[in-house]
């Protein structure tokens, strides 16, 4: 037999949540990076999202409860503020996808894996 249970330790209605990946810290304070209203964004055709023309603005925040994905923002942000969750610098190399198989089959000199054909007799 097995059982599944949820234990609710706190309920907070009507809170502002931000992804943990957006929250940064310096010394003892936390901040997020915001896109200003006057900072025009342009849609990018890459998988990396949008690009901005000016550097983001740092906004100091006060955090509350958090879990594995989100953190409660007590002060410093408003609903609908554009928060940056990930930054990729233009000088960083584009990620590459390695399509070579790493499967090795003992006794085969070619390394095995991928394609090939099989004929039953």
Residue 30: the pLDDT is 95
Residue 116: the pLDDT is 47
Cα distance between residue 89 and residue 108, in whole Å: 43
Residue 77: the pLDDT is 94
Across 37-74, b (16+ Cβ under 10 Å) vs e yields eeeeeeeeeeeeeeebeeebeebebebeeeeeebbbbe
Cα distance between residue 14 and residue 78, in whole Å: 12
Give the residue ranges of the chain where pLDDT is below 50: 43-46, 101, 111-121
């Amino acid at each position: 037999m097995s059982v599944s249970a949820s234990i609710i330790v706190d309920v907070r209605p009507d809170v502002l949540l931000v992804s943990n990946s957006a929250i940064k810290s310096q010394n003892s304070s936390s901040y997020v990076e915001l896109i200003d209203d006057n900072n025009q964004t342009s849609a990018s055709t890459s998988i990396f999202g949008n690009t901005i023309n000016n550097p983001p603005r740092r906004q100091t925040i006060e955090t509350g409860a958090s879990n594995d994905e989100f953190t409660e923002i007590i002060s410093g942000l408003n609903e609908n503020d554009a928060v940056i969750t990930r930054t990729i610098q233009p000088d960083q190399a584009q990620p590459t996808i390695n399509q070579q198989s790493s499967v090795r089959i003992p006794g085969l000199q070619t390394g095995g894996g991928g394609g090939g054909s099989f004929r039953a007799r």
